[in-house]
Structure 1
């Protein structure tokens, strides 16, 4: 180190180390924010962030690198040895490059670290005999980096505000007495855990009260067993092979969404989601919504959207006994966001979409519901997608008691969610909205609790992941306590809304369900439901997972459930007499003609849109 640089460094080594830490923290944060924002939703990159990453990444990395710098200063004082400035710069270069390589995700962690280390060494070598110039550069350019980070952060923080103002300027004036529409998805809720669907526990008194004032569909099926394709079908009326939204591909602009259609009719449109991974604008689900809130509920969750924030959360929090999603957005906050937005509509007709995430694993909720059904509920570490992304479970075999604790936790979460829905409906009634609001409540998919030796969802197309609740309520417009046994799917929702609102000339795929409760003649017509699943993240999953062996298609008829795998495997169940699907009848000699018939029917439905 040159004498001048060495003298300065020795006299103010704390400030020098922190200066370098701040410089690299801002640089790493801005690069992470810009790259993440540029690649969000791009096929081939598993980057799921909002534009707010433009301020979140610089802020978090600034703090993280300063903590690294403080640790280095402490080490210097403890050992009494001061490393050359060039090696300090090289060290922070390693962390900067590693951050970007992990973000892009095209190298495994060992390769990414090796490459980052190599770059850091080269930077250190390049600064040999240039340390004074480097120090001067860090000092003079630091202020410019800070200004750039602030401007970038303001851009990210105001991104959605500008978008909302632009959309609202183009909203047509609505007709008088236009009804409101409220679409609610209870993420990961299987119908057989809902009280009014026959569950022995009183998990959902408020949902069932709503069902007593409207129409309940006893056999409603999701068109896929995980979030994105299921919501895409719900919004467009298209089947997964038509809209093509999948693990690495967002919903594109090919098909109109329900929100786009209602916005064009003068509706204020808003979406409020607790699933901040897939129910987001970057996955194509914001089209038609003038307002979309998918941000995290706290600075903790914001931090976990960064590379190092997520690494720290997944490696440190479990060691402290914390297994929940950091900053998890509870139903109470979704309600608050929706009601706050509702205040700004000034009584104008609205279409609002609410996604609740409380019944998604890990099955943890707040008091007094945390032990609502059992004192031995899960602590959240056995079934947790954060730590076991492809297996869901922490160990190969869960005991009967362990499975029971997971189910108890799931039911506890559902009881909490139901209570929050009750509070939401009470507030809407207080505001006088209940009589002029069509309410639709459903789920995007179910959940496996050891059924077929599976946990979680998105890894099969068995009924426990496809059968979901569907309840419609609209006082004085829909019948009370009506139960419909017909097979229906989430893709039928847009067409149903159009008919109920009396909107002409907007023909969505799928069928309107209105005739199923209003016409006894039409209600007898047969129907078959197609659901689809590609392997996605389970392509390299456990061998017992059906999705590991290839893409899946499922056909549900009045009596039969037929599943076809791209691997050639076939399954056939009489789901009416065997609801747990334990007896595969596909190779029974007396079912050969039936199998051929179902194959043709599936092929016909699968060809729609191609």
Structure 2
């Protein structure tokens, strides 16, 4: 099942909650451009990422594989040489794959050196950049401490700011992500007390407009009669922290627009050990404070409003250049943000604000006309996008690539086709071995792993290291406030047993036989006999006559010399 869309614009926002868009029900934050895309496409209400942390989640998006398959389970863990990506698959269909913005990719430098792959070669550059050809990579995390910069790559955005007259070694921090206090000093965005201040930068020079401009530049460069079909991954850093936004967006929302956090005192009682460790970390403690919520949430909303306005600018350019008619557009996020829900900040665990993300897909094809403006409540995983892009480009997934891609194509949903044998549950993984929580709990790195198995009613979490599970009945407890992991009621024990059956089923998936497809396996069956291997034969009558032709006839005259 294919689409007649020529190109794919794959837009990802970092740390964007699904329920902070008006088309997903936010009562105060209006996002008309994302809403308009949803009215012309399909909006998915149950999309889950495969890991609620930036790097691991993104590697799953880009490979179409679970973290335990691709191995890059934390920020900075290299994606090993040999893992195929969206770009690798699309190039077989004649489609190029480009990057604008963030990937959080770390190259397997040792693996490349071992195999003699030069990072200066075309192949080496793609291996080092998650399969993309880089138009403009900027991960947008130019933090700097006593030991230097968090990110060692060159910041194209910092160079842009310097060219615009912003001074210093790190204008990303000093201007784009800081304000100015009453004494004229830098009010760093790292301190959430400054979230209500406007960033000390012209709005048009801030990160989100910059990335939008780079995408417009890309579209113009590719808008030629002889240009090949392309996928462009436009990957915004915002609304990811630091939570600070330029004027006028800094003042668009106030504490009266802050939705009360979804949390209960009962959650602290006999809390799951890992959950408790995250509740009590520095971030969790910060987001318990009313003054943090009253300054950070409005800034977060302002960042999202700016993002929506920039999408409007981008969509207008697509329409003016004719690309809206031949470009599939996807809007999603790599994970969400707790914003004080469940006594937590940031992401990391498996409550809905963290692990569930928005996903909107617009397919310009006539085949998708019947689904425009529809809502899909089926269980979807982020790895489904790689499979969807491959089929949209003309590839055939079944038997030919589904030994590598572990997701399912969404093309039947986009084009109104009946679904057969759709998934009953979704899975997400989290390796927290690098976190203070693992140290505090004295959990060995190999055991500091969490797994979520969820269907439309139940959400289950398994923890390695001998720690009890968690369980939520989302029908009776849609806010996920009552952990049933220690319940002894028969109906809850039965659900936990079912979830462990599903977890074991998922663990038995064939995830490492990636060099031979199902189609190739079928074609290879029996070929060894046609090449002379006829094991188990007694007199030759058990098999086809032609398989024995090389083993029959008069015996050759033998002369043996015995001395």
CA contact (8 A) 1:212 1:482 kept: yes
Asked if the contact 2:468–2:486 (Cα under 8 Å) also holds between the matched residues in 1, the reply is no
Alpha-carbon distance in 2 for matches of 1:473, 1:375: 34
1:108 equivalent in structure 2: none
Which of the two has greater helix per residue? Answer: 1
1:252, distance to aligned residue in structure 2 (A): 1.8
| Equivalent in the alignment of 1:462 | 351
- In the TM superposition, 1:365-444 aligns within 5 A as 365-374=245-254, 391=281, 393=283, 398-444=288-334
Which TM-score applies when normalising by structure 2? 0.66
Q: 1:493 aligns with which of 378, 385, 393?
A: 385
Gaps of 5+ in 2: 110-126, 152-168, 191-198, 259-277, 513-563
* Aligned counterparts of 2:443 and 2:30: Cα–Cα separation in 1: 30
Shift of the 425–520 alpha-carbon distance from structure 1 to 2, 3 Å rule, reads: closer
- The answer on 1:481 being equivalent to 2:373 is yes
Secondary structure of 1:357 counterpart = coil
Deviations 1:468-519 (CA, angstroms, capped at 9, x unpaired): 0011002234231011010101011111122233223444321112223545
Partner Cα separation in structure 1 for residue 360 and residue 313 of structure 2 = 18
Structure 1 Cα separation of the partners of residues 328 and 417 of structure 2: 23
Offset from partner CA, 1:392-451 (integer Å, 9 cap, x none): 639556333432332222111111111111111111111110010011111110111222
Distance 1:561 1:350 in 2: 38
Cα offsets for 1:301-359 (capped at 9, x unmatched)? 87949945679979998993422379996111111222223333353221100111121
- Helix, strand or coil for the counterpart of 1:322? strand
CA shift at 1:289, angstroms? 1.7
How far has the Cα of 1:184 moved from its partner? 0.8
Map of 1:562-581 to 2, 5 A cutoff? 562-567=460-465, 568-581=467-480
Deviation track 1:139-165 (CA, whole Å, cap 9, x = no partner) reads xxxxxxxxxxxxxxxxxxxxxxxxxxx
Q: Alpha carbons of 1:235 and 1:545: their partners in 2 closer, same or farther (altered >3 Å)? A: farther
> Which runs of 5 or more residues in structure 1 are unaligned?
1-176, 379-387
Task: Say yes or no: does 1:559 pair with 2:452.
Answer: no
1:607 counterpart residue number: 508
State the alpha-carbon separation in 2 of the partners of residues 308 and 518 from structure 1.
50
Q: Deviations over 1:258-291 (max 9, x none)?
A: 112223333332101146xx25667967233222
What is the 5 A alignment of 1:211-290? 211-247=38-74, 248-274=76-102, 278-279=104-105, 286-290=129-133
Structure-2 change in CA distance of 1:377 and 1:211 (3 Å): closer
Asked if 2 retains the 8 angstrom alpha-carbon contact of 1:552 and 1:566, the reply is: yes
- The structure-2 alpha-carbon separation of the partners of 1:443 and 1:545, relative to structure 1 and needing over 3 Å to count, comes to farther
Relative distance call for 1:582 and 1:178 in structure 2 (3 A) is closer
Aligned to 1:46: none
Tell me by how many angstroms 1:607 deviates.
3.4
Distance across 2 between alignment mates of 1:377 and 1:243: 41
Determine the structure 1 residue equivalent to 2:547: none
2:360 to 465, 471, 484: 471
Let me know the Cα RMSD of the aligned residues. Answer: 3.7
Q: Which residue matches 1:125?
A: none
C-alpha distance in structure 1 between counterparts of 2:143 and 2:55, whole Å = 24
Question: Which of residues 448, 466, 472 in structure 2 aligns to 1:550?
Answer: 448
- Distance in 2 (CA, whole Å) between partners of 1:178 and 1:212 is 18
**Residue of structure 2 in register with 1:148 after alignment:** none
Q: Note if 1:591 corresponds to 2:480.
A: no
Are 1:377 and 1:406, in contact at CA under 8 Å, matched by a contact in 2? no
* 2:31 is equivalent to residue 204 of structure 1: yes
Which of the numbers 404, 409, 416 marks the counterpart of 1:512?
409
Which protein, 1 or 2, shows the higher relative CO under an 8 Å CA cutoff with sep ≥ 6?
Answer: 2
Q: TM-score, normalised by structure 1?
A: 0.62
CA 1:288–1:555 in 2, change beyond 3 Å: closer, same or farther? same
Deviation track 1:521-564 (CA, whole Å, cap 9, x = no partner) reads 52784521110001143144696999999311001112110011
Number of aligned residue pairs: 419
Report the equivalent of 1:123: none
Contact 1:369/1:413 (CA < 8 Å) preserved in 2?
A: yes
Distance 2:71 2:187 in 1: 36
